[in-house]
Amino acid sequence: MLLARRTPVMAISRRFMASLAAPLALLGSFSMDAAVVQAEDDDAPSSVAASDAKAPPHIVFVTGDDEYGSELSMPMLARILETHHGMKTTVLYAVDDAGQRDRHGNSIPGLKALRSADAAVFFMRFRKLPQEQLDEIIRYADSGQPMLGLRTTSHAFKYDGPPNDQWNDGFGRDYFGQKWISHYGHENSSNVHLAEAAAGHPAARGLEPSVWLHSWLYVMNDGELTIPDDCTVLQVGDAVRGTQPGGELYGHRQPVSWTRELPRPDGGKQRIFYTSLGHPRDFNYETPRRLLINAIYWAIGREADIPPEGTNVTIVGQYDPPDPH
């Protein structure tokens, strides 16, 4: 069952935002020397997509977790999009009170870049963003534009009281399909398999049928708490005891990755993707990288451009993240 979305006091409705779309498009575009940037403030230039219909898609990555190194893995994916797929990217980072990058920071400057995004990728955990930054995210979520979420985005926010505490569970649940429930423990890992519904889905092209990954399994279905029926599950997972392949399986099989489509005010569908994967070392393997790049193509309506073997996900430059635990 699709849960009703709640609107915060400061949020602007989708219909109102749609009326602002044309004026916002006239804000112009900025030339950036670097494809992946840290915006200095909310008014900073942020790789705004050109109005030309042939302009490359603009993908905005919003990082801000203190556990899984999203500030490392998301720029790596952005480089893949830029180099192999000709897309424009902006990567936003959490900062401390002095404006310096800090994975624990409760400010993510540059979120106005979402106004020009063709898709947004969120990898956040337990943030208490300033009101104006939260509003930018909720405006985008309600705009009907494509959204992708990884792992802790099910619990992206941790506000202390109303009205914004509604987003502690609501952001993950109402948009991506589930709130934070629990996981199987840091000293464990997962076997991940293609789900039956993945057959024929463009986002699943080129994915391994089964793969062991570092991410310890997230609980997504627990009793009456289940993902909505409108979710198309692409991958399922089993918990593995220990941090090496071949360990004992235990617990209950869980959905790991899925897509869903939510109704937009204009009668169209908002394409949404979520995966509970996100351990930084998962992205040393092709399947998690390809899952995300494929999903971006699907989300922006370019699934016809995903080849049968899946997208090119060759890493650009160096990527050697530390183990988070």
Is 210 inside any structural domain? no
- Residue 150 · residue 121 · CB < 8 Å: yes
- The pLDDT, as a whole number, for residue 325 is 74
- The pLDDT, as a whole number, for residue 3 is 36
Is 38 inside any structural domain? yes
- The pLDDT, as a whole number, for residue 87 is 99
Instruction: Decide: helix, strand or coil at residue 274.
Output: strand
The boundaries of the domain holding residue 41 are: 30-181+257-305
Q: What is the pTM of this model?
A: 0.85
Can you give the CATH number for the domain in which 174 is found?
A: 3.40.50
Number of domains the chain is built from: 1
Is 125 inside any structural domain? yes
For residue 83, the cross-strand partners are: none
What are the tens digits of pLDDT across the range 16-75?
A: 333 334 333 333 332 333 334 444 344 333 333 333 457 999 999 999 999 999 999 999
- Which residues of the chain are modeled with pLDDT < 50? 1-52
Is 102 inside any structural domain? yes
User: What is the C-alpha separation between 48 and 46, in angstroms, rounded?
Assistant: 6
Two tokens at 92?
Answer: 């936003």
Is 64 inside any structural domain? yes
Q: How many other CB atoms are there within 10 angstroms of residue 28's CB atom?
A: 10
